[in-house]
Amino acid sequence: MFLKLKQTKSQITMSSSRFIFFVYHLALALILQKAFGSQNCSNSGNFAANSPYAVNLNDLLNYLTSQTPQTRFANASFGQPPDRVYGLALCRGDMSSQDCETCVREAASEIQNRCPNNKGAIIWYYDCLVKYSNTDFFGQIDTQNKFYIQNPNNAANPTAFNLQTEGLLKQLTYQASRNSTLYAAGELQVYGLQRVYGLTQCTRDLSPSDCKKCLEDLISEYLPLCCNGREGGRLYSGSCLAQYEVFRFIRG
C-alpha cells in the first residue's frame, strides 16, 4: 500500500484498532473513490484521437452514464466492426440512482485519463465499475480482471469467524443468482461472534448460473488470500463483487 500518513495528536490518541480502522477507511477512499479508482488497461490495441473508435467509445460512455442509474446496470455496443465497441457499467445494488450516475460519470471520465488510447479497459470505483472492449465479452465471466482490498483488523476468533463469513457469502451467492437483479445483501451472526454484513452482485449480462460460478470462483480463490481471519474484505472482478465487513456498510 502506498499510504503516507502524517501523525497528528488526534490519531496518536486513538486506540490501535480504531487507528487501523481509520487507515483502512482512508485507504478505501484513496484507492476507490474519485480520482483513485483501480484500473486495468487492456493490450488489445490502441485507437487514435478523433478516429471512429474514439467516437463510438464516447457514445458508449455517454449511454452508460445515462442508462446505468435506472437499474444499476447497462450494457451496449456502438458502431460497426472493426470500430465497434462493447461496454457495460454496474453500480452497487444498494446505491441511489443519483449516486450511481455520479459514480459512472466520474469512472467513465477517469478511465479515459488512465487508459487514454486502449481499445479495452476496466475501472473500479468504490461503488461502481465501467468496462469496455473492442471484442464482444457480454455473457462471459471475466476471469482476467480482479483484485481485492483487505480490512487489516483481525477478528477475535478467526477460525470461527472465517466459517461464519464463508457461510454468509455462500448464502448470498445463492440469493444473488436467484434474483433477477443478480444482487443480494444480508447479515449473519453466530452466537459469540461479531455480526458480519455482506453483499454479492454480478453484472447482468451473465446468466444466473454464470453469476453463481463467478461468485464461487472469486470467493474460493480470493477469500483465503485476502481475508483469512480479517474483519472485512472487498473482492472485485470484472463480472462480480463479493464484500463483507463487521460494520453496516450496506445502505438502506
Ligand X SMILES: *[C@@H]1O[C@H](CO)[C@@H](O)[C@H](O)[C@H]1NC(C)=O
Q: Considering only CA atoms, which of 119, 117, 153, 114 is closest in space to residue 133? A: 119
Interatomic CA distance for residues 144 and 246, integer angstroms: 29
Interatomic CA distance for residues 214 and 24, integer angstroms: 26
Tell me which stretch binds ligand X (CB under 6 A): 108-116, 156-164, 177-185, 190-198: 177-185
Helical packing angle, 52-71 and 97-114, nearest 10°: 160
Q: Are 134 and 86 in contact (CB under 8 A)?
A: yes
Q: How many CB atoms lie within 10 A of CB 166?
A: 16
Q: How far is the CB of 103 from ligand X (least distance, A)?
A: 18
Q: How far is the CB of 192 from ligand X (least distance, A)?
A: 29
Q: How far is the CB of 191 from ligand X (least distance, A)?
A: 26
Q: How far is the CB of 162 from ligand X (least distance, A)?
A: 24
Binding mask 67-106 for ligand X (x = CB under 6 A): --------xxx---------------x-------------
Decide if residue 179 touches ligand X (CB under 6 A).
yes
Q: Are 105 and 59 in contact (CB under 8 A)?
A: no
Distances in Å between the Cα of 219 and the Cα atoms of 19, 41, 113, 213 are 28, 24, 31, 10
Q: Are 72 and 59 in contact (CB under 8 A)?
A: no
In the complex with ligand X, the residue whose CB is nearer, 144 or 220, is 144
Number of residues located near ligand X, criterion CB under 6 A:
15
Q: How far is the CB of 142 from ligand X (least distance, A)?
A: 9
In the complex with ligand X, the residue whose CB is nearer, 86 or 161, is 86
In the complex with ligand X, the residue whose CB is nearer, 147 or 249, is 147
Report 114-153 residues binding ligand X (CB under 6 A): 138-139, 144-147
| Binding footprint of ligand X on the chain (CB under 6 A) | 40, 75-77, 93, 138-139, 144-147, 179, 181, 183, 205
